[in-house]
Chain A
Amino acid sequence: MIESTASSEAHSVLHAMTSTDGQAPTILISIDDLAFEAKIDDSDRLGVCGGSVPQIEPPNVLEGSCRVPNARVFSHVFPESPQWLAPKARPQNRKGPPGRESANDGMAPVSTEPGSPPATRTRIKPPKDLLKWTDRLYYLLQPPLESLLSSEVLDFPFQPFQHQMEGVAFLFPRQAAILADEMGLGKTMQAITAIRMLLHAGHIRNVLLICPKPLVTNWQREFAAWAPEIPLGIVEGDTQKRAFLWQQQATPVKIANYELLMRDQSEVLGDGRHYDLVVLDEAQRVKNSNSTTAQTIRQISRQRSWALTGTPIENSVNDLHGLFEFLMPGYLPPGLPIEAMAREVGDYVLRRTKDLVMKDMPPRLFRDALLELTPQQLATYREAEETGVLRLSDLGEQLTIQHVFQLVLRLKQICNFDPVTGASMKLQRLEADMEEVASSGQKAIVFTQWVKTIDQMRPTLERFGPLEYHGRIPSKQRDPILKQFKEDPSRHVLLMSYGAGSVGLNLQFCRYVFLFDRWWNPAIEDQAINRAHRIGAAGSVTITRMTSEGTIEERIHSILEEKRQLFETLFSATNGPKNLNLTRDEIFGLFKLRAAGKRIAA
């Protein structure tokens, strides 16, 4: 028992006895002047009485409790703690991603020194559309992702980078998500790790991953590296085999390609088929929500939908509408003002650029090779252009965008090779540059729009051991070609078409990229460049953009450069690009022709 004196704020001296023995404290108040805030009725106020008999009556004592009320408690008991049962398949010799040891790329892998807690804490944040507080609690109260590393429960072949951990934390709790990192930041690893964690936590049991056909083996390799304990089912082979594979319920992750999915609609959409998660790689394939592919995929019964793409707005901001029709049909109406769109998609899209997360990554060195045409090329070009423009003018009211487009393609081909003599200033320049590349033991990728151009350049480049990777190369031969290119020191150059080689391939051992001709869309060019400039890049990557001086290529280049500046603005600015392809006006303007403004798709 402690005797204490109350504050002088009370109007009179007050002696109080407070209890510290765990019982409710009791105060004994001498009532001579109670004017402080304790609630005492007038009926309780007793005065000291006097009388003729000199008897002093003891003062009445008011006994009251000033116990602090009990705290009201909200309780939540987790049904069960997620079980992390991944086998430790590898010894704990984690290191940075391949190539990192030799490169001062400045990225910061997650620190997991043995015997000490991780230095960073990446938390899983519940998405905004998760409203129930107990559901949100589940995510809020999970340990940081780094603790999975430090506790050695889930084994990783390499230490993930901080932005990758944040990507996993973004995907893990989301029913609908677009991971739109710039190419080369490791979207595949982030998706695999999030899938792995969800499988081990028991939140999902069957996953369908859909990717372009050439990337199936890439996904297999990445799963083998980042989640070796997860059995994969690769849907391939003849109809009978595929039907069998679709029916396998025990395989937690199935990988199918877009093309095959269209043939197997009855299987993938069949009765009772349901997936806890459907992941679309290179999800721009469904940007056109009216396409058969998009319509088929939208019908797949599923709980969670994730989209992976480096180019969420490949052509226009309306591409996002197509992606959201897969994620959350009806959520994002088409034609929404860009400010409203940015607001609506904010919690569902995660996009990081290399500039943002890897400030010290080896630089991309752009080298614009503005080349004069050879005399033969120039003569052919001038004739083709003059004749072509004349024809276009003669068409008058019948002139269409297709007519202009055909002329552009024709002129671009002449810029590559003179169709009569085979002369090519670009090839001369490439040959000279390749001498330097090969003599320094380096490797280069050459991108072009046409397989025919690859055929034309191959003889001249023969001494550099050229390999080819394009639409005419059968799928089964593609991986061995990439392997040979990587491992055979006599193979210095890989000739690729934009279509086959611009997505999903890891060629970070290459220090040189040549854009023999230019694509219509800067996003596609970026994808191509990022085959080499990605995590693990061995050093700076030099990109040579070949443009023929005074030609249609130079005019297109100027327009595309302006658009490139606008490409990333959707998620950071209010005045984003409406269109990344050339508009109808821009196409016609290439030849100073006049047309009503209507956009075309490249």
Chain B
Amino acid sequence: MNPSPTAAPLGFLTCTEFDGWGLCGGLLLLNQMARPLEFHCTLPVKVSRTQIILYGSSMRAHICGQVIGKALLEKAKSRPGLVITDCPETATMREESDLPLALIAASGQQSTTETTNSGEVLNIGRFQVYLTLPSEQDREPLRQRLRRELASFAEKFDLDEPFERVRQAMTEARDAALRAA
């Protein structure tokens, strides 16, 4: 199954906390050949003590999903056909996003598929993928297409590999900023 180079890009979105620097996010848009189209990353988001108190345990999810994830997707020039994240907190943006979102996690489970109204759990390669679809769409054709695209991509590339690139780029950005400071 050869991936189509003309399909909508895939967005790989993740957040990382650097000690003493704060929470940063990165979004890498790839074509179906895993080649980079766009990269966006945030400066660290710093929160005050008041905000930590007021948001409580929901703080990290709020920053990763509503603040960082939203800001990064707003900057994207191309609209990704699917946003993939390996960060559960970032995945909380699914409630508001009009984009399909897939949360991946390493899995050693047998291949199973659980379908719910808004999402499903897929086992693709060595990953468990929790796929969530936007609420106001005809879900089934979209679901079928995304499953095909994910499987096609995963045949050639590890689903977690692009996140290595994003983190490496964010680390370089951090190092450059610290050198400049």
Q: How far is the CA of A133 from the CA of B176 in the complex (A)?
A: 8
Report which of A72, A140, A151, A153 forms a contact with B42, defined as CB distance below 8 A.
A72
- Asked whether, in the complex, the Cβ of B157 is within 8 Å of the Cβ of A71, the reply is no
Contacts of B33 in A (CB 8 A): 81, 84, 143, 151, 153
Given A72-B43, A121-B161, are A116 and B125 neighbors across the interface (CB < 8 Å)? Answer: yes
A-B pairs with lowest CB-CB distance, top 7: A71-B42, A141-B36, A143-B34, A71-B71, A117-B158, A81-B35, A72-B43
The proximity string for B residues 66-110 relative to A, scoring 1 for CB distances below 8 Å and 0 otherwise, is: 111001101101000000000000000000100000000000000
- Asked whether, in the complex, the Cβ of B67 is within 8 Å of the Cβ of A70, the reply is yes
Report which of A10, A76, A82, A121 forms a contact with B39, defined as CB distance below 8 A.
A76
A142 interfacial contact with B, CB 8 Å: yes
Q: How far is the CA of A563 from the CA of B49 in the complex (A)?
A: 65
A18 interfacial contact with B, CB 8 Å: yes
Q: Give B37 Cβ to nearest chain A Cβ, in Å.
A: 6
Q: Give A18 Cβ to nearest chain B Cβ, in Å.
A: 7
Report which of B36, B49, B53, B125 forms a contact with A117, defined as CB distance below 8 A.
B125
Q: Give B166 Cβ to nearest chain A Cβ, in Å.
A: 8
- Asked whether, in the complex, the Cβ of B67 is within 8 Å of the Cβ of A71, the reply is yes
- Asked whether, in the complex, the Cβ of B161 is within 8 Å of the Cβ of A74, the reply is no
- Asked whether, in the complex, the Cβ of A71 is within 8 Å of the Cβ of B68, the reply is yes
Given A75-B40, A143-B161, are A151 and B75 neighbors across the interface (CB < 8 Å)? Answer: no
- Asked whether, in the complex, the Cβ of B50 is within 8 Å of the Cβ of A71, the reply is no
Q: How large is the interface on A (under 10, 10 to 19, 20 to 34, 35 or more residues)?
A: 35 or more
A22 interfacial contact with B, CB 8 Å: yes
Chain B residue nearest in CB terms to A22: B96
B172 interfacial contact with A, CB 8 Å: yes
Q: Give A399 Cβ to nearest chain B Cβ, in Å.
A: 60
Given A68-B45, A75-B38, A133-B176, are A143 and B157 neighbors across the interface (CB < 8 Å)? Answer: yes
Chain B residue nearest in CB terms to A16: B54
Contacts of A108 in B (CB 8 A): none
- Asked whether, in the complex, the Cβ of B35 is within 8 Å of the Cβ of A82, the reply is yes
The proximity string for A residues 5-39 relative to B, scoring 1 for CB distances below 8 Å and 0 otherwise, is: 01101100000101010100101000000001110
- Asked whether, in the complex, the Cβ of A78 is within 8 Å of the Cβ of B38, the reply is yes
Given A74-B43, A78-B37, A143-B35, are A22 and B66 neighbors across the interface (CB < 8 Å)? Answer: yes
Kindly name the residue among B43, B74, B158, B164 whose own CB sees the greatest number of chain A CB atoms within 10 A: B158
Report which of A77, A136, A142, A151 forms a contact with B38, defined as CB distance below 8 A.
A77
**Knowing that A74-B42, A143-B34 are A-B contacts, what are 13 other residue pairs whose CB atoms are under 8 Å apart, sorted by A's residue number?**
A10-B53, A36-B50, A68-B62, A71-B25, A71-B43, A74-B173, A82-B35, A123-B168, A133-B172, A140-B165, A141-B28, A143-B33, A147-B34
- Asked whether, in the complex, the Cβ of A27 is within 8 Å of the Cβ of B156, the reply is no
Q: How far is the CA of A564 from the CA of B86 in the complex (A)?
A: 52
Given A73-B40, A74-B43, A117-B161, are A18 and B55 neighbors across the interface (CB < 8 Å)? Answer: yes
A115 interfacial contact with B, CB 8 Å: yes
- Can you list 27 A-B pairs, Cβ within 8 angstroms, ordered by A? A10-B53, A18-B54, A18-B58, A36-B50, A37-B49, A38-B50, A68-B45, A68-B51, A69-B45, A70-B71, A71-B43, A73-B42, A73-B43, A77-B38, A81-B31, A81-B33, A84-B33, A116-B125, A116-B155, A121-B164, A137-B39, A140-B165, A140-B168, A142-B36, A147-B161, A151-B34, A151-B157
B141 interfacial contact with A, CB 8 Å: no
B63 interfacial contact with A, CB 8 Å: yes
Q: How far is the CA of A390 from the CA of B101 in the complex (A)?
A: 91
A96 interfacial contact with B, CB 8 Å: no
B47 interfacial contact with A, CB 8 Å: yes
What residues of chain A have their CB less than 8 Å away from a CB belonging to chain B?
Answer: 4, 6-7, 9-10, 16, 18, 20, 22, 25, 27, 36-38, 66, 68-78, 81-82, 84, 115-117, 121, 123, 133, 136-138, 140-144, 147, 150-151, 153
B20 interfacial contact with A, CB 8 Å: no
Contacts of B173 in A (CB 8 A): 74, 133
Kindly name the residue among A38, A81, A115, A144 whose own CB sees the greatest number of chain B CB atoms within 10 A: A81
- Asked whether, in the complex, the Cβ of A117 is within 8 Å of the Cβ of B48, the reply is no
Kindly name the residue among B40, B54, B172, B173 whose own CB sees the greatest number of chain A CB atoms within 10 A: B54
Chain A residue nearest in CB terms to B42: A71
Q: Give A462 Cβ to nearest chain B Cβ, in Å.
A: 57
- Asked whether, in the complex, the Cβ of A74 is within 8 Å of the Cβ of B49, the reply is no
Q: How far is the CA of A136 from the CA of B169 in the complex (A)?
A: 9
Q: How far is the CA of A7 from the CA of B54 in the complex (A)?
A: 8
Q: Give A25 Cβ to nearest chain B Cβ, in Å.
A: 7
Q: Give A23 Cβ to nearest chain B Cβ, in Å.
A: 10
B122 interfacial contact with A, CB 8 Å: no
B131 interfacial contact with A, CB 8 Å: no
- Asked whether, in the complex, the Cβ of B172 is within 8 Å of the Cβ of A77, the reply is no
Contacts of B25 in A (CB 8 A): 71
B41 interfacial contact with A, CB 8 Å: yes
- Asked whether, in the complex, the Cβ of A142 is within 8 Å of the Cβ of B158, the reply is no
Q: How far is the CA of A458 from the CA of B37 in the complex (A)?
A: 64
Q: How far is the CA of A20 from the CA of B93 in the complex (A)?
A: 11
Contacts of B156 in A (CB 8 A): 117, 147, 150-151
Contacts of A150 in B (CB 8 A): 156-157
Q: How far is the CA of A223 from the CA of B26 in the complex (A)?
A: 40
Contacts of A27 in B (CB 8 A): 54
Report which of B77, B154, B169 forms a contact with A137, defined as CB distance below 8 A.
B169
Q: How far is the CA of A231 from the CA of B70 in the complex (A)?
A: 48
Q: How far is the CA of A71 from the CA of B45 in the complex (A)?
A: 6
- Asked whether, in the complex, the Cβ of A140 is within 8 Å of the Cβ of B169, the reply is yes
Q: How far is the CA of A37 from the CA of B50 in the complex (A)?
A: 6
The proximity string for B residues 146-172 relative to A, scoring 1 for CB distances below 8 Å and 0 otherwise, is: 000000001111100110110011001
Report which of A66, A70, A82, A117 forms a contact with B51, defined as CB distance below 8 A.
A66
Q: How far is the CA of A530 from the CA of B67 in the complex (A)?
A: 60
Q: Give A248 Cβ to nearest chain B Cβ, in Å.
A: 31
Q: How far is the CA of A151 from the CA of B5 in the complex (A)?
A: 12
Q: Give B100 Cβ to nearest chain A Cβ, in Å.
A: 19
Q: How far is the CA of A500 from the CA of B31 in the complex (A)?
A: 50
Q: How far is the CA of A37 from the CA of B52 in the complex (A)?
A: 11
- Asked whether, in the complex, the Cβ of A81 is within 8 Å of the Cβ of B172, the reply is no
Q: How far is the CA of A77 from the CA of B34 in the complex (A)?
A: 15
Contacts of B96 in A (CB 8 A): 22
